[in-house]
Amino acid sequence: MLLILLVVLGYLAARFAVDWLARHALVVSGAEYLVLGLLLGPRGTELLTPLQLEGLAPFFTLAIGWMGVSLGFQFWLPVLTRTPGILFRLAFVEALLTMGLVGGAAWLLLAGVPIGTGPLDPVTAALPATILGAIATTSSLAGARIAAKSLGRRNLAVRQLEVAASIDALVAVVAVAVALAAFHLPVNVLVREPTSTEWMVIAMAVGLVGGWLFHLFLGNERSPDRLFIAVAGAVVLTTGAANYIGMSALLPGFLLGFILVNTSRQREVVGNLLVRVDRPLYFLMLVSAGALWSPSATDVFLPLLAFLALRLVGKVGGAWLAARVNGVIDAFGPRWGLALVGQGGLAIAIALDYSLARSEVMSDLVFTAALASVLLTDLFSARLARDVVASLPEDVQLPEDTRPAEVPA
């Protein structure tokens, strides 16, 4: 009873502290749930034992798949086609540069520095390095939305941050799927072992089939309750199939969400359902991640410090280079990448997904890097995003040669 009381008091203290910081210092909420998980887990009061956490693996997979659906739901084609192409070019350059910088540096570090049991061989080191690069690429929209709300401003700069966060998510999800396909463990089959490309095709087929079945049977459904059951069933189907074949649930979920937003006649209803479930699932993932977290300062301090520093360099430097190369440095400024340093649920989902993978290598390091990055960036990401948006004019104008051409009547 005393342990439960201490956990409740600790959570309430963290909750009130974060609420106060969110109101007065623009701090994104979430850290208190990690604290609660630490208090509940084996490193705290042991109210959640390792065996109990292992039994929650199906829930983790479902939450990861649901997050993938929410990400795919952002890619509504009518909105994408009305977005200037320059915004996508900026986003892809920033995402790929961050991915390459952090992933490449992580590969060099893991293959050359004795961490834990010693340095990994170059081939094996590519798996955790790619996952770390994918985690570094992710960005949260929370900071930009808080900044836009506090300034009462939504212009092309805010739209650029939204596009960049979505493209960051797409690049990260694809990178995780490719890495797990390339390092897929052998399976007992009657004919032959599928190749990495075939594993990718299978994972994509899972998401496409799930979306097709939903559209086939409930494309004209209007009842929110039935739609929720149908969406939940489609997510369970795709995530379960992805888990069975040993692949990430993020990519099938992403494709399912993409199909839902572009084929469902009840797009707004389905979108509201996803939003209502997203936040509780994110907080539950934070609690679970906090309970699963086993930080080791002696083994991961150097890689963690390098990860945080290189991610910042990749985000800011990649965004600056993208704007410079595309000739829009005057429109978005040299430091618009600072608004992308915040991380949210996708980083946690990738870390959880990787820790559950059968082919995982050094998952503790990856998990610690993701959680530490989320904790640190939540403290100042909204303030940075607000400063970036506030420094730009209300009416951000693109150069004439980068604007989309008008279609003649």
Model's pTM, two decimal places? 0.87
Structure-block tokens of residue 248: 């990430």
Contact 318, 101 (CB under 8 A): yes
pLDDT of residue 299: 61
Distance, in Å, from the CA atom of 117 to the CA atom of 122, rounded to the nearest integer, reads 15
- Cα distances (Å, whole numbers) of residue 363 to 116, 138, 275: 12, 18, 29
Contact 67, 275 (CB under 8 A): no
State the residue for tokens 């959680």. Answer: 371
Overall CATH class of domain 58-393: mainly alpha
- Residue 235 neighbours by CB under 8 Å, 6+ apart: 62, 65, 66, 69, 210, 253, 256
Which residues in the chain land under pLDDT 50?
1-3, 6-7, 9, 11, 401, 404-409
Structure-block tokens of residue 283: 């907080």
Give the model confidence (pLDDT) of 58-79 as tens digits.
Answer: 888 888 989 999 999 989 999 8
Query: Which DSSP helix (H) or strand (E) runs through 257?
Result: helix 250-263
pLDDT of residue 217: 67
Burial letters for 294-326: b for 16+ Cβ neighbours within 10 Å, e otherwise?
Answer: eeeeebbeebbebbbebbbbbbbbbbbbbbeeb
